[in-house]
A and B are shown apart, each in its own frame.
Chain A
Amino acid sequence: MSAATLFGLCGAALVGLGLYGLIIHPQPLRKILAFNLIGSGVFLLFGVVARRGAAAGMSGDPVPQALVITGIVVAFSATALAVALLLRLFHITGQATLSPEGSKNARQKRTDSQ
């Protein structure tokens, strides 16, 4: 198995793991982490593409590498925005959950204590 194939399979595995996590986990923080996992898999795939598409005598095609750098910046900003929203939500409600049941329980508790 060549290095490119190995890394390609690793990338596919990362994307699969991340997709599973993003869909299965209800907690937003885990979803954000899962998104980053998929992102890493995709960036690895770009690396494999760069290696395979290299012209003779070159170690890599520079275009996918440029795309990966931009992609990392975008994924970083997305993560920062998501974490900022999550922190703000935690400050206001005291819990970091997306499910309507969570807020319903909180409302229930509030009415119970009144």
Chain B
Amino acid sequence: MTGSAVFSGSANGGGFLLVLAITLPTAGMLLSFALGGRLAARTALLLLPAGLGVAIAIAAGVWRTREPLVYYIGGWAPPLGLALRADGLSAAMLTTTAIVICATGLYGRAAFRIPAGVSEGRASLVFWVLLMAIWAAMNLVFLGDDLFNLYVALELLTFAAVPLVCLDGRAETLVAALRYLLFALLGSVLYLLGVALLYGGYGTLDIALLFGLVRAEPIALTAVGLMTAGLLAKTALFPLHLWLPPAHSGAPPAASAVLSGLVVKASFFLVIRLWFDVMPGLLNLAAAQVLSTLGAGAILVGSVLALRQPRLKLLIAYSTIAQIGYLFLMFPLAAGSASGSLVSNVALTGGMLQAISHAFAKAAMFMAAGLMAEALGHDRIAGLRGVGQLRPITVFAFGVAALSLVGLPLSGGFVAKWLLLTAAITAGQWWWALVMVLGGLLAGGYMLRVIAPALADADEPLIPRAPVARSREMIVLALALCSVLMGFLPLRPLGLLQIGRPNVSEASGR
């Protein structure tokens, strides 16, 4: 019984790292808020490398010991206390989050610089405080092992993300933020209802303990259905995507990068936790086909709408909807075969690699769009001609990120989609492969809409509206390269992601 194994297991060495991963950004948030002004930015920037170091140390610890890091808060083991747990999936997502947040912080340093002689700007203070808050909440989502704890983490994430949408205070961004908040609240209250039902049925909310208890009976099915529906509203899976494009395109570029690259992945991560870790037995093919059909709908609708957008940031936001669709294609592929089998692992690895490479690529894209808009003074796609001569590195970075999103060979996106494609063919569900190929073609189409005019000669010489520091362009390029380089380490994540998977350990124990 896995439950008893968890009972007897004690917190292992390195557990304090998990606490640091949450307390460092929280301390940064509180200090930035208390100090204010220029010190807010300085505090946040000081904490960025420390947080990145902690995330890498956790990933290295999980990788070295080949088993999850566990920490019991206050020394109380579940079911009485709460546990923090970092398995392979958490380690990969923690590191991704840390890298993207660090890049966003460095990029935002110039975007939210307080001019000399001005005491303090509201937007700048709010950006630094909320960037740290998002980091803390994301880390809690990845490390939490208690379903109610995860609910609180999701809510913290929502409260940090919503004000970032309306940072500039224009009426349309306020409407976008309010609509985002209402969707998110509906999602979280449905999730909470599911938590209540699970506690009523099984008397515990610890993921590792629930794994041994949950059976396919009405209360568990209702609970997981409600929780999944709530999480899908927060992930913006089609047809619950309506809030995403105005929210992500209206925010400042640095905020959009975090919102689109990271925040939607947190609720997706919880769907994985729920379906693969809490109740792998409930992941039957029929339910998984529903998720996957929604994913396929998202790929097609998102891509077609992206082809029709007049503004660059809206195009990137619609592309996020399409790329989220790919994440949900892994569910029937993993469910169609025995849990812990090779096909199931390949599908899970493909899905996670897609989530990670999309996080890098999308963050790079929004930042590149921000730099282009700074140079041109607008982000209309029709007016992009010649920006390639004005900002060659930015356009190159955008192109590199697009490579990964479209899934051209030797990029992270390619490996992710290739793994999903292989799993689809192996599992005998070839129709998902068709959707993936079609989605790739459409993605190529909408990315070409941006890159072709950007590389063309301008009708008249363009004059940059504002100088852009070379260092900011380099940050964008580094993020885009991260997304492509994911394609060069295909075997390593395959090993890391499987550490601490319950179905794997059970399969070997049988």
Contacts and interface: CB of A to CB of B under 8 A. Distances in A.
Interface of A: 15, 22, 28, 31-32, 35, 38-39, 42, 45-46, 48-49, 52-53, 63-64, 67, 70-71, 74-75, 77-78, 81-82, 85-86, 88-89, 92-93, 98, 103
A48 B174 CA distance: 38
Contact of A85 (B166, B170, B188, B200): B166
A38 B189 contact: yes
Contacts of A70: 148, 152
Interface of B: 148, 151-152, 155, 158-159, 162-163, 166, 169-172, 174-175, 177-179, 181-182, 185-186, 188-189, 192-193, 195-197, 199-200, 203
Contact of B199 (A39, A49, A93): A49
Contacts of B203: 53
Nearest to B246: A100
A65 to B, nearest CB: 12
B425 to A, nearest CB: 40
B189 A103 contact: no
Contacts of B171: 89, 92-93, 103
Given A98-B179, A103-B171, 18 more contacts: A22-B182, A28-B178, A46-B196, A49-B199, A53-B199, A67-B148, A67-B196, A67-B199, A77-B155, A78-B159, A78-B181, A81-B163, A85-B162, A85-B174, A85-B181, A88-B166, A98-B178, A103-B175
B200 A71 contact: no
A28 B175 CA distance: 10
Contacts of A35: 182, 185-186, 189
Q: Which 8 A-B pairs have the closest CB atoms?
A: A49-B200, A89-B174, A45-B196, A85-B178, A93-B171, A38-B189, A92-B171, A74-B155
8 contacts: A45-B193, A64-B196, A64-B199, A74-B155, A78-B181, A82-B182, A92-B170, A98-B178
Given A98-B175, A98-B178, A78 B196 contact: no
Contacts, number: 92
B132 to A, nearest CB: 18
Nearest to B176: A98
B175 A89 contact: yes
Question: Interface centre among B151, B171, B177, by most A CB within 10 Å?
Answer: B171
A67 B191 CA distance: 13
Nearest to A93: B171
**Chain B interface SS verdict (over half):** helix
B298 to A, nearest CB: 21
B174 to A, nearest CB: 4
B109 to A, nearest CB: 27
Contacts of A22: 182, 186
Contact of B189 (A28, A39, A98): A39
B182 A81 contact: no
A50 B159 CA distance: 28
A64 B197 CA distance: 11
Nearest to B149: A70
B178 A86 contact: yes
A15 B166 CA distance: 30
Given A70-B148, A74-B155, A88-B174, A82 B185 contact: yes
Contacts of A53: 199-200, 203
Contact of B182 (A28, A46, A49, A74): A28
A74 B152 contact: yes
A103 to B, nearest CB: 7
Contacts of B177: 85
B186 A82 contact: no
Contacts of A92: 169-171, 174
A86 B172 CA distance: 12
Nearest to A44: B196
A81 B199 contact: no
Nearest to B197: A45
Contact of B162 (A48, A81, A98): A81
Contacts of B192: 39, 42, 71
A31 B182 contact: yes
Contacts of B163: 81
A95 B199 CA distance: 42
Question: Interface centre among B155, B172, B174, B189, by most A CB within 10 Å?
Answer: B189
A64 B199 CA distance: 8
Contacts of B193: 15, 38, 42, 45
A51 to B, nearest CB: 10
Contacts of B189: 35, 38-39, 42, 75
Contacts of B200: 45, 48-49, 52-53
Nearest to A28: B178
Nearest to B194: A42
Contacts of B172: 103
Contacts of A39: 189, 192
A99 to B, nearest CB: 9
Question: Interface centre among B162, B182, B195, by most A CB within 10 Å?
Answer: B182
Contacts of B188: 74, 78
B87 to A, nearest CB: 25
Contacts of B199: 46, 49, 53, 63-64, 67
A31 B159 CA distance: 17
Contacts of B175: 89, 98, 103
